[in-house]
Structure 1
Amino acid sequence: MSNHLIFAIAFCVASFVANFYIYKFFLSAIFTRHKKILRVFFFLCFILNVLFLFLMRSDFLYDDVYLILSLILAFSFFFFLIGIFYSIFSGFIKCNSFNEGRRKSLKFIFDVGFLLIAASCFFKGVFNALRTPPINKITIKANANLKIALITDLHLGKNVHKNFLVKIIQEINEQNVDCVAIVGDLIDTNIKEIDYLDELNSFNAPVFYVTGNHEYYHNADEIIEQLSKTKLQILQNDSVNFKDVVISGLNDLRGAKYNKAPSFTNIYQKFDSNKYNILLAHQPRIAKEFNLEKFDLILSGHTHAGQIFPFSILVYLQQGFLYGLYEIGKKTKLYVSSGAGFWGPSVRFLAPSEIAIINLEKE
């Protein structure tokens, strides 16, 4: 059985369980007079979740329809988590020896309060995903002075469009950085669907780019061909000298299935131990796959910091890293960005997006 089939089955089962739980143990306990309507509603949610699974990578799905389906998926899994908390806390009311009148009053207050909190958190999560990512400044002591804007996981395509990209570029240009590093998952659709690639020429600093796993889902060769027509300097298992540093770019691990596996051959040929060596690699688990002790700093993304808690736990287990600055060797540091965009559901919960400004300062 292929991994894709296993994932599809697991997704369908998880979606069914989530929607059934929301109906059975959460909302039907609050809206007791509307159980039939709720039953139909959550059955439709399940069908639309499955539909989204099979259509999310298609090119014929209209952007607005994609957005609606992604929000329904986010609603299902988000309210499933809220429903679990509801069941736990409602049990507390049932277990206490309140009289019937007081129990009903407390339940009403509890139900209304929980619905308001759930709705507020959900809409805040949507806002967190769709807003322009805030600037997050990180200072690292080094033997070089350099200011780098790090962005990753924009996922330009069905959910993230031109306006989002333009605002990010404007924010970065205001920071007066020395260079920009884009560490993968910039494109998440057929590159022919994006007619605003020339906006990438608006950066007022040199831009270095490496592939992420999602570029390989949409014909990485064609994406690289089109991006090479912009000012992006594409690093495919290669390095470049830039001021006081050497910047190397590694193909994503997913590239191994497309004859574009990550390789250090050319990178180590251009290695300069007298300079500060930076490696751009999309997935942080590259630090688990290879010995990177020669490098001073690795810049990664991919994790989205989990995007929707508690999926952060699963991401950490799969990647070995989640978000932030890690010490992975005597001199080697790894910074994992939470990403500027999002994938799938247009929601970020307890996993804020960012534009990371990495300040390298001489000790």
Structure 2
Amino acid sequence: MTETSSSRPAAGAQEAPPSRLHRLMRWVPLVAPVLLWAVPCWVLLHTGQHWPGAVAPVGTALFVLGLVVMPLAMVRGHGRRQQDGAAIVGDTLLGAIWVLFTWSVLLGALLRAALALTGTGDGQDRARIVTWAVLGTAAVLLAWGYAEARRVPRVRRLDVELPRLGAALDGTRVVLITDTHYGPLDRARWSARVCETVNGLEADLVCHTGDIADGTARRRRAQAAPLGTVRAARARVYVTGNHEYYSEAQGWVDLMDELGWEPLRNRHLLLERGGDTLVVAGVDDVTAQSSGLAGHGADLGGALDGADPGHPVLLLAHQPAFVDRAAAGGVDLQLSGHTHGGQIWPFHHLVRLDQPAVAGLSRHGARTLLYTSRGTGFWGPPFRVFAPSEITLLVLRSPRRAA
């Protein structure tokens, strides 16, 4: 948002000192990783287990090593060096320690209390039971979560009734993929299988709502290339996500155009059948304006410029948070991604602090529906725990359709 003159401090005036909350927030990037590694270390090794020999000191040394290696690997993997091997190590450690932290907290409190209430064993027995329960649960969830992340997503089908949709457009098939996040783990074969699945749905319209990859179009081209094989009866459309703006967004816009997708950069096209019309519009991601990339920025007014206000509007916007503007602009249905459904439980609770919806269909205002996909791929940690990926088939329904 552009700063106005009235918001600037007067000449010679001193800015107010940062609040205590702001000062505390500065420490979060340092404190959070320490807690992620320290809590499981304490619960598994130092709460009365009395492990024999070198178990506790060796285990503690491994946790300290993880605390050091994880951020270093992520910096080398996702920073200027862009080393894929380091990114894989850092991302995997992040996912693993998040799962271990979560279940150390839950089982460390709940299971220990249940064992104490039932009089099971002494303090050492209970501590060791908790340790093995945490390790077993984490191992199972990580193995399952890895398989969930790497598989071709299941198709989620739902009918969506749009009150303003004309009868001739009843049954329009819209396929949504999003957040493919091609990255350090080569998923070219996975990408091809996803596209085969999409083609089997015989869509009128195929949409990709951004976050194609982590990395530049030149670097991830081989993984993205199968998108060129996607078929749609009417159109294939794409909007940018926030991750494009970390990786030369214009390069991704140009590549998608080359692959036969129509980038809806603050513009629209018309889907017409039997005298009825659906406006299909798209906007750049909300982070585009702050990216400094010339000509990029979310502009709903520009996207709908020239469209008949009497026609229903299907809007592509990467982040669900755009829905407030969509509702104010009279949009009928917004399609989004971005949230990954939380990706690794219970991270969805933190996502809710930033987004109005995490997954599924929701209503906003009098007219506007929002569908939020859990995403087709995964970001960073190669795990999905209680947040399955999806390819979405939305069948648009008119209230005036024939019985």
TM-score, normalised to structure 1, is 0.90
Q: Does 1:256 align with 2:297?
A: no
Q: Of 57, 64, 74, which aligns to 1:43?
A: 64
Quick check: 2:50–2:124 contact (8 Å CA) kept in 1? no
Deviations 1:332-352 (A, max 9, x none): 211011101111111111211
Gap change, CA 1:6 and 1:47, over 3 Å in 2: farther
CA distance in 2, matches of 1:176, 1:358: 12
Q: Distance in 2 between matches of 1:329 and 1:249?
A: 20
Is the contact made by 2:180 and 2:212 (CA closer than 8 Å) also made in structure 1?
yes
Give the structure with higher Rg (CA): 2
Native 8 Å contact 1:93 1:107 kept in 2: no
Partner SS, residue 228 of structure 1: helix
- Cα distance in 2 between the residues matched to 1:314 and 1:160: 29
**Separation of aligned partners in 1, 2:80 and 2:144:** 29
Per-residue CA distance 1:294-342 (angstroms, 9 max, x = gap): 1111001111111112221111111121111011132221101110111
Distance in 1 (CA, whole Å) between partners of 2:74 and 2:263 is 31
Q: Are the equivalent residues in 1 in contact too, given 2:74–2:90 (CA < 8 A)?
A: no
Query: If each structure's helix is expressed as a fraction of its own residues, which one has the higher value?
Result: 1
TM-score computed with the length of structure 2 as normaliser: 0.82
Q: Is the 8 A contact 2:285 2:319 kept in 1?
A: yes
Partner of 1:227: helix, strand, or coil?
helix
- Offset at 1:204? 1.4
Work out whether 1:66 is the aligned partner of 2:87: yes
User: 1:193: Cα distance to partner?
Assistant: 0.8
How far apart, CA to CA, are the structure 2 residues paired with 1:20 and 1:253?
36
Q: Show the counterpart of 2:4.
A: none
Q: Any conservation in 2 of the 1:281–1:299 contact (CA below 8 Å)? A: yes
Partner of 1:347: 383
- Picking from 221, 226, 230, the partner of 1:199 is 226
2:165 matches 1:139:
no
Aligned to 1:93: 115
Aligned to 1:332: 368
CA gap of 1:207–1:159, structure 2 versus 1, over 3 A, is same
1:182 alignment counterpart: 208
Size of the aligned set, in residue pairs, is 358
How far has the Cα of 1:116 moved from its partner?
A: 2.1
Q: What secondary structure sits across from 1:199 in the alignment?
A: helix
Identity between Structure 1 and Structure 2 (%): 25
CA contact (8 A) 2:315 2:335 kept: yes
d(CA) in 1 for partners of 2:91, 2:121: 44
Q: How far has the Cα of 1:82 moved from its partner?
A: 0.7
Rate the CA distance shift 1:179–1:20 in 2: closer, same or farther, 3 A: same
Partner of 2:192: 166
Q: CA deviation at 1:64?
A: 4.1
What CA distance in whole angstroms lies between the structure 2 residues aligned with 1:16 and 1:97?
34
Identify the residue that residue 5 of structure 2 maps to in structure 1: none
Counterparts of 1:315 and 1:123, CA distance in 2: 24
Q: Secondary structure at the match of 2:374?
A: coil
Shift of 1:362: 2.4
Shift of 1:107: 5.9
Distance 2:173 2:244 in 1: 27
Task: Could you tell me which runs of 5 or more consecutive residues in structure 1 were left unpaired when the two chains were aligned.
Answer: none
Spell out the pairing of 1:73-92 with structure 2 (5 A cutoff): 73-88=94-109, 89-92=111-114
The reply to whether residue 272 of structure 1 matches residue 299 of structure 2 is no
